[in-house]
Amino acid sequence: MTIGSLPPRYRISIDPVRCMECERCIENCSYGVFRRDGDRILVNSRNCTACHRCIACCPRDAISLEEHPCDYRSHPLWTREAREAIYNQARTGKIILAGMGNALDYPVIFDRLVLDACQVTNPSLDPLREPIELRTHIGKKPTRLDLRRREGGDVELQTPLTPNLQVETPIMVGHMSYGAISLNAQVAMARAVTKAGTFMGTGEGGLHSALYPYQDHMIVQVASGRFGVNIDYLERGAAIEIKVGQGAKPGIGGHLPGEKVCADISRTRMIPPGSDAISPAPHHDIYSIEDLAQLVRALKEATEWKKPVFVKIAAVHNAAAIAAGIARSPADAVVIDGFRGGTGAAPRVFRDHVGIPIEAAVASVDKKLREQGIRNEISVIASGGIRGSADVAKAIALGADAVYIGTAALVAMGCRVCGNCYRGLCPWGIATQRPDLVQRLNPDAASEQVANLIHAWTLELAELLGAAGINSIESLRGNRDRLRGYMLDESLMQVLDVRQVGA
Amino acid sequence: MSTVAKRVVIDGKGVHYTPLNQQIRKAVKDGAEEIVISNVLGQRFIGDGLRGNATIHVYGVPGGDLAIFMSGPTIIVHGNAEHAPGNTMDAGKVVIHGNAGDAVAHSMRGGKVFVRGDIGYRGGIHMKQYEAQCPILVVGGSAQTFLGEYMAGGLLIVLGLNGPVRARDIGSGIHGGEIVIRGDVDAACLATGARKVPLADEDRRRIAPVIREFAGDFGLDPEPLVNAEYTRIIPASARPFVGKYTWE
Ligand code: SF4
Ligand code: SF4
């Protein structure tokens, strides 16, 4: 034995006094932790992923879960993760893949920013009494308006306007493909965004026919693999998004393993069943910013200039310059995906080490666009690690027009952020295609929950705006005066363009 | 624009691509079977997302992304074409009587692209097939490096009629479909993930109609081409990335 077995990550224990042997844990656990032996429920903790399905379904609260029941000798540098990655690679010699977002303990900038409120001199607004406008429009805004007065005295707009997306709340759901998540999960979110008057992304997996009823609220994605992309798909979407990069794995492509390409996914992606769906790292028709502008134009031309086109990039060091380049193309919005963005699977080294935080990326993009006088040419959508309405408000104050949420929407449907999406056994019916698991996710109930979440955050945003004496979300956009940095260093505050608390 | 029965003639001189495509769309909608566009000079996106089954003759040099997202029509270019003709095309046919630029038939899912002359780099990159849809790219001349990279399906034939085929790094990351090149291909010109095999009789029977169609379109004698020596390049594995990764 050289390395031997590693200490278990989790320990599950059942309190025999509380347990009534109903076997719900056995039925619900897709990882095979539980089994029955006579009148006892036995556990194999090594199979546990901390998905909490058993805990959620146990009628007697008999199950307890402990993380790292037996740890290594603590060491600030040689963490458990560092040591276990070495054991893994020493055994396999391979690249480590991992799920969900960045798992390193970087400071969260959002948590070092505080919002403002009115006291005495400028009274706050009461959302009950005053209308607080949360509706916004995503897309290009004209530099100037040419208005002419007609005979009868009516004013007529002469400037041609580019199509915008009207969103009733600045919270949209980002791109999670059919394949990465189940159809029930997509349908649930599609219903929720339709109800909330907002939009969601298809991801790069095509548009399943079950989503056609919600297509006016879907943003169809065109990624480097061009899966599921044809003229019908482009025409169905309310907007089209070119995915250049993704915060969880900037600079590399994607790869849906053949095992996950079942008949239905094959039809939606338009690839043979069982074949690997490989998205190359770059789009092979985009090798420059001019080429990107050309694809934007090609998509607009295909849809007769009726649809807004978004471009999504990962937040990387020169995101601001790239965004300024995108703003000079006919693209209508740039999505900046921060390094905390989630994913079903990404090489761990990319997930944890490549890219920059969304807070800094959005602030620098907004600043660059304003400096160049082209902020009106493009909307900015922030994504990657938005956990609550406060993050939404802070992202907007740093310069975003709206945000995309991803993980938060999954959590609203039961996801416990266990990070095992890649195994395809999600016991919540979200990141799985196994029919018995998928049917656990009731699209009606789940859509209600996602809609509730968006509604609740929207209410909170209205309250936050009212308290700050602001009556429209557009007046919060880029409004650094309503933000202060708390325990942030000076250079970072310069990047964010915020002052420190007390100043 | 003048209309004779089901034939429409459009003068492309100095017309921006959007009004040009609008005229094409209108002609298709009005039932034109043949559309002739003259004086084309660099307009991109001709036939972008176009449906139907009209035949469009392009005289001059169209710009990039000819027939991108196209689904049905036939476009015949009497001249050279810029980069990426047939990009993400779904169905239909593009016939180019001259040469074409880089990324010809990029991500094409169905239909045919026939180029009489040479093509640039990354030809047939990430072509893919699905059910009855099988994209076909035939190049009369030579192709440059990265031919058939990431190819996931379809048929790519290079005839090398103008001299030796210059492509190197052929089929890197190929995981579906086949590349057929006239003559022998040095193993050093294949990229990782690609493997060469002899063209079997049944393969020849399968590609013969395609070669005959190509020869017919360009007035070539088909039989010497049908009976020539070919090298067939296929994926070494349908799963090029299996074995590269381990789970956390
Ligand atoms: S779900 Fe709870 S009560 Fe039922 S068998 Fe499992 S541990 Fe016992
Ligand atoms: S979606 Fe992924 S992280 Fe969430 S519970 Fe399912 S497997 Fe775990």
Indicate whether B148 pLDDT > 80. yes
Q: Considering CB atoms only, which of B69, B131, B175 is closest to A231?
A: B69
pLDDT over 70 at B179, yes or no: yes
How many other CB atoms are there within 10 angstroms of residue B174's CB atom?
Answer: 33
How far apart CA A142 and CA B101 sit, in angstroms, is 36
DSSP letter, residue A229: -
Cα end-to-end span (Å), chain B: 64
B54 assigned to some structural domain: no
Cα–Cα distance, A75 to A335 (Å, whole number): 39
Same domain for A424 and A332 = yes
Q: From A286, which residue of chain B is nearest by alpha-carbon distance?
A: B103
Q: Give which of A369, A396, A384, A379 is closest to A483, Cα–Cα.
A: A396
Lowest mean per-residue pLDDT among B123-127, B130-134, B140-144, B217-221: B130-134
Same domain? A176 vs A39: no
In this structure, the residue with its CA closest to atom 4 of ligand 2 is A415
What mean pLDDT comes out for the span A268-292?
87
Judge whether residue B4 has pLDDT over 60: no
Q: A–B: how many Cβ contacts below 8 A? A: 133
Q: How far apart are CA A220 and CA A204, in angstroms?
A: 8
Could you tell me the pLDDT band of residue A270, with boundaries at 50, 70 and 90?
A: confident
How far is B77 from A494, CA to CA, in rounded Å?
55
Tell me, using a 6 A CB cutoff, whether residue A248 lines ligand 2.
no
Pocket test for ligand 1, best of A13, A34, A40, A41 (most atoms within 8 A of CB): A41
A187 and A39 both lie in a single domain: no
Question: Taking all residues of chain A, what is their mean pLDDT, rounded to a whole number?
Answer: 94
Q: Which residue has the tokens 């890219």?
A: A355
pLDDT band at residue A274 under the 50/70/90 scheme:
confident
Residue B18 belongs to a domain? no
| CA–CA separation, B235 and B153 (whole Å) | 10
Distance to chain B for A314, nearest Cα, Å: 23
Task: Please state, in angstroms and rounded to a whole number, the distance separating the CA atoms of residues A439 and A283.
Answer: 36
Residue A114 is assigned to a structural domain of this protein: no
Once rounded to an integer, what is the mean pLDDT over residues A184-202? 98
The domain boundary residue, chosen from A76, A94, A112: A94
Nearest chain A residue to B22 by CA distance is A304
Q: What is the CATH number of the domain that holds A78?
A: 3.30.70.20
Ramachandran class of A242: left when φ > 0, alpha when ψ lies in -120 to 50, beta otherwise: beta
Contacts of A264 in chain B (CB under 8 A): none
For residue A182 and ligand 2, the question of a CB distance below 6 A is answered with: no
One domain for residues A89 and A209: no
Cα–Cα distance between A408 and A453 in angstroms, integer? 9
Are residues A187 and A84 part of one domain?
Answer: no
Q: Is the pLDDT of residue B144 over 60?
A: yes
Q: What is the dihedral of CA A398, A399, A404, A409, to 10 degrees?
A: 30
Residues A71 and A194 in one domain: no
Identify which of B48, B90, B241 has the shortest CB distance to residue A255: B241
A78: left (phi over 0), alpha (psi -120 to 50) or beta: beta
Q: How far is the CA of A63 from the centre of ligand 1 (A)?
A: 7
CB distance A409 to ligand 2 below 6 Å: no
In-domain check, residue B175 = yes
Range of the domain at A493: 170-500
| Of residues B88, B150, B245, nearest to A280 (C-beta) | B150
Whole-number Å distance, alpha carbon A404 to ligand 2 midpoint, is 19
End-to-end CA distance of chain A: 61
Token reading at B216: 């017919």
Confidence of residue A260 (pLDDT cuts 50, 70, 90): confident
Residue to probe by mutation, ligand 1, list A13, A17, A20, most atoms within 8 Å of CB: A20
Q: Which residues on chain B are in Cβ contact (under 8 Å) with A298?
A: 44-45, 48, 65, 68-69, 87
pLDDT digits (tens, 9 = 90+) for B50-87: 999 999 999 999 999 999 999 999 999 999 999 999 99
Kindly indicate the confidence band of residue B1, based on its pLDDT and cuts at 50, 70 and 90.
Answer: low
- Residue A70, classified by CB atoms within 10 Å of its CB into exposed (0-12), middle (13-18) or buried (19+), is exposed
Higher-confidence residue: B1 or A244?
A244
Q: A257 and A404, same structural domain?
A: yes
Domain assignment of residue A130, yes or no? no
Chain A residue with minimum CA distance to B70: A231
At A502 the pLDDT is 94
Distance A383 CA to ligand 2 centre (A): 19
Task: Give me the percent of chain A exceeding a pLDDT of 70.
Answer: 100
Q: Which CATH number characterizes residue B218's domain?
A: 2.160.20.60
- Note whether A211 and A342 are same-domain residues: yes
| Beta carbons of A483 and A115 less than 8 angstroms apart | yes
For ligand 2, pick from A51, A65, A440 the residue to mutate: most ligand atoms within 8 Å of CB: A51
| Domain termination site, one of A50, A73, A94 | A94
Total of domains in chain A:
2
pLDDT in tens, A142-158: 989 999 998 888 999 99
Angle at A396 between CA A395 and CA A400, to 5 degrees: 90
Average per-residue pLDDT for chain B: 94
pTM for this entry: 0.95
pLDDT band at residue A466, thresholds of 50, 70 and 90?
very high
Residue A381 within a domain:
yes
Token pair for B17: 């691509």
A211-228: pLDDT as tens digits = 999 999 999 999 999 999
Please tell me whether residues A377 and A477 are part of one structural domain.
yes
A74 and A200 housed in the same domain: no
| pLDDT tens digits, one per residue of A123-138 | 899 988 889 999 999 9
Task: Supply A486's token pair.
Answer: 């708390």
- Distant-in-sequence, close-in-space partners of A179: CB < 8 Å, separation ≥ 6: A203, A205, A256, A260, A261, A265, A268, A269, A277, A433
Domain count, chain B: 1
DSSP state of A74: P
Name the domain boundary from A49, A67, A94.
Answer: A94
Evaluate whether residue A132 is within a structural domain. Answer: no
- Residues in chain B with CB shorter than 8 Å from the CB of A276 are 175, 238-241
Q: Assess whether pLDDT exceeds 80 at residue B124.
A: yes
In a domain, B133, yes or no: yes
Q: Is residue A117 part of a domain?
A: no
Q: What is the mean pLDDT of residues A336-357?
A: 93
Compute, in angstroms, the gap from residue A178 CA to the centroid of ligand 2.
Answer: 15
Classify the phi-psi angles of B203: left when phi > 0, otherwise alpha if psi is within -120 to 50, otherwise beta: alpha
The closest CB to that of B71, out of A94, A230, A285, belongs to A230
Q: Which position has the higher pLDDT, A321 or A268?
A: A321
Q: What angle do CA B233, B238, B243 make, to 5 degrees?
A: 120
Give the domain range for residue B227. 99-242
Could you give the angle at the alpha carbon of A60 between the alpha carbons of A57 and A63, nearest 5°? 70
Nearest CA in chain A to B128: A271
Angle at A231 between CA A227 and CA A236, to 5 degrees: 90
A163-181: pLDDT as tens digits: 999 999 999 999 999 999 9
- Among all chains, which residue has been given the structure tokens 């009106």? A376
Which one of B21, B109, B125 has the shortest CB-CB distance to A301? B21
Ligand 2 contacts CB of residue A98 (under 6 A)? no
Q: Which amino acid is at B29?
A: K
Test A96 with B248 for CB contact under 8 angstroms.
yes
B110 domain-assigned: yes
With cut-offs at 50, 70 and 90, classify the pLDDT of residue A99. Answer: confident
Distance from the CA of A177 to the center of ligand 2, in angstroms?
Answer: 14
Cα A409 to middle of ligand 2, angstroms = 12
Instruction: Report yes or no on B227 lying in a domain.
Output: yes
Cβ–Cβ gap A230/B68 under 8 Å: no
Considering the domain architecture, whether residues A320 and A449 belong to the same structural domain is answered as yes
Q: Is 70 exceeded by the pLDDT of residue A262?
A: yes
Residue A313 placed within a domain: yes
CA A414 to ligand 2 centroid distance, Å: 8
Chain centroid offset of residue B228 CA = 21
Asked if A294's CB is within 8 angstroms of B109's CB, the reply is no
Query: Of A231, A252, A422, which to mutate for an interface test with B (greatest number of B Cβ within 10 Å)?
Result: A231
- Of residues A343, A326, A430, A328, the one with CA closest to residue A381: A326
Specify if B222 maps to a domain. Answer: yes
Residue A193 and residue A27: Cα distance in Å, rounded? 32
Chain A residue at shortest CA distance from B51: A231
Q: CATH number of the domain at A360, please.
A: 3.20.20.70
Specify the pLDDT at position A185.
98
Query: Are A280 and B122 an interchain contact pair (Cβ–Cβ within 8 Å)?
Result: no
